[in-house]
Structure 1
Amino acid sequence: MRTSPVIRLAAATVLAGATVLAAAASASAHVVVEPSSVPKNATDQTFAFRVPNEDDTKSTVQVEIDFPTDHPVPSAMVAPVPGWTDKITTTKLATPIHTDDGDVTDVVSQVVWTGGQITPGHYQDFTVELGALPEGTDKVVFKALQTYSDGNVVRWIEEPQAGRPEPKNPAPVLHLTAAAADDADSADGASPAPAGSAPVAPGAPTATASAKATTAAEKASSSDSTARGLGIAGIVVGVLGTAAGVLLGRRGRTGTSA
């Protein structure tokens, strides 16, 4: 028996819907660190640990981020999150880290946020500023523990391995890329202007600042584009489903009248 075009359309619609939903779930299901990669010599960089709530009925009530001990982060500051209380734990290093500002003997080893809630269908960003990044490695692997209101704890601690399938509960990983070239800056922090060019007024944005702003805008635009793309895909699937339903209804009525 041959399959009618209407039935094939309906089947294709269901498959497309399942694909869109799977893509949306995989894109937001894990605890991640954003941005996920920076140059090795980046300093005073702000990162967000994005924690999505995966439970349909329970809320996330505690978030724990453990910092690596094999390649410790020399310095870190935690931004307040409205509705949440943070507790910062430090540890003393057996071997101090040598920096331009002196030796670092104590580093942040853990941050725990409590008191707030991430309700179903939502996520929360927990922001941390890293004053410097560890040396001698091309990635920083954090561990995240997410506690739900029913006491269930999801441990995002499995380190992804190149060439292997992604683990069920991957840990947040910050990738360190090749160090960015240092520019010869003038005393006020701006690059010297080429000969014959107009001087830059005090307080005016420099080319470096403009480039950083552009990069940040591009990242935000990329994130927004992804969300818009998933939203548009969902609308398209809905339209196709409606059309398939109308066609199936018409086919049913035609068969009955015959």
Structure 2
Amino acid sequence: MTSLSHALPPTARRLGAVAGLAAASLLGLATAASAHVTVNPKTAEQGTYAKVAFRVPNERDNASTTKLVVYLPADRPLSSVSVRPVPGWTVKAEKTKLATPIKTEGGEQTEAVTKITWSGGKIDPGTFQEFDVSMGRLPTDTGELMFKADQTYSNGEVVKWDQPPAAEGAAEPEHPAPVLKLLPKGQQSAVGLTAATKADSAATVSADDGTARLLGGVGIAVGVLGIAVGGYGVTRARSRS
């Protein structure tokens, strides 16, 4: 007795193969869209000091993340930058000589941290790590700060998260850089922080929901196509008998 797959004509088998490839492709797109290096929280108040966390998910199944390099904007240098130790990781903050000194309460500052490197640790597949940085004062002449980042894997691969954010309504770039939105002074009070946290959580839920809907749609589409292919094969088999 031959199996159903062998009984199916070549056309039906090709349809089934296409369905499988389509499902795999869509699953891959869903995974890629949901994981990249980000800065959290996503907003802070202009002219203040803030603690942010660079959240780094491991996107590979066969390698671990072993190094992260974050570049602070040199065109808007920050007078104060400090890092929180991460167990198992070594951190190094590098300063750059400034073309224009920063005016601070203590006078003029001629150097500023523009690069932070974490190394020696490991982020295994399916996990993420957060790297905390305290920084300030945040500039008052821009609505955002972009932090380019390099993520290095144990297999030698380096992923550069350095693409500017997409314009409203446009598709997200493949490797977006972490961006901290800067709100005018007074807009991010304690209540605002709570609202921002809720909004961030809602955005996460929305993203998860979108991924779930995509995966559900893939399952339904594949199921319908599978039924059609099966029905087609059974009809052909009966017509031959």
When the two structures are superposed, what TM-score results if normalisation uses the length of structure 2? 0.71
Shift of residue 154, structure 1, vs aligned partner: 3.0
Structure richer in helix, relative to its length: 2
RCO higher in structure (CA 8 A, sep ≥6): 2
Q: How does 1:48-67 map to 2 (within 5 A)?
A: 48-67=53-72
- Separation (CA, whole Å) in 2 of partners of 1:161 and 1:239: 31
- Does the aligned pair in 2 maintain the 1:158–1:171 contact within 8 Å? yes
Aligned to 1:26: 33
Gaps of 5+ in 2: 1-13
Structure 1 position 73, deviation (Å): 1.4
1:102 to 102, 106, 114: 106
The residue aligned with 2:73 is 68
The DSSP-based 3-state class of the residue aligned with 1:65 is strand
Tell me the residue number matched to 1:126.
131
Summarize the alignment of residues 212-223 of structure 1 with structure 2, pairs less than 5 Å apart.
212-223=193-204
> Cα–Cα, structure 1 residues 118 and 139, in superposed 2: closer, same or farther, change >3 Å?
same
SS of the equivalent of 2:62 reads coil
| CA deviation vs aligned residue, 1:33-79 (integer Å, no higher than 9, x gap) | 334444423x2323222333343422211111122222101212222
CA distance in structure 1 between the aligned counterparts of 2:39 and 2:190, rounded to whole angstroms? 23
Deviations 1:96-126 (A, max 9, x none): 4234x43362432221111222233443332
Tell me the residue number matched to 1:40: 46
* Displacement of 1:23: 4.6
1:149-195 CA distances to partner (integer Å, 9 max, x unpaired)?
13333333455686999766544333434x13479xxxxxxxxxxxx
2:219 pairs with 1:238? yes
Write the distance in 2 (CA, Å) between the matches of 1:161 and 1:59: 28
CA distance in 1, matches of 2:39, 2:113: 17
After TM superposition, the structure 1 stretch with the greater mean CA deviation from structure 2, 224-233 or 60-69, is 224-233
Equivalent positions of 1:170-249 (< 5 A) are: 170-177=176-183, 179-181=184-186, 208-249=189-230
Does 1:256 find its partner at 2:228? no
1:78 aligned residue (58, 63, 83): 83
Q: Which segment is superposed worse, 113-122 or 63-72?
A: 113-122
- What TM-score comes out, normalization by structure 1 length? 0.67
Q: Measure how far apart 1:239 and its partner are.
A: 3.9
Aligned length: 225
Distance 1:83 1:55 in 2: 20
Determine which of 153, 158, 163 is the counterpart of 2:158.
153
Q: Which amino acid aligns with 1:40?
A: Q
- 221-230 vs 246-255, which deviates more? 246-255
Structure 1 position 88 matched with structure 2 position 69: no
SS in 2 for 1:80: coil
User: SS at the partner of 1:226?
Assistant: helix
Maintained 8 Å contact 2:41/2:52 = yes
Q: What letter matches 2:65 in structure 1?
A: T
Query: Is residue 112 of structure 1 aligned with residue 93 of structure 2?
Result: no
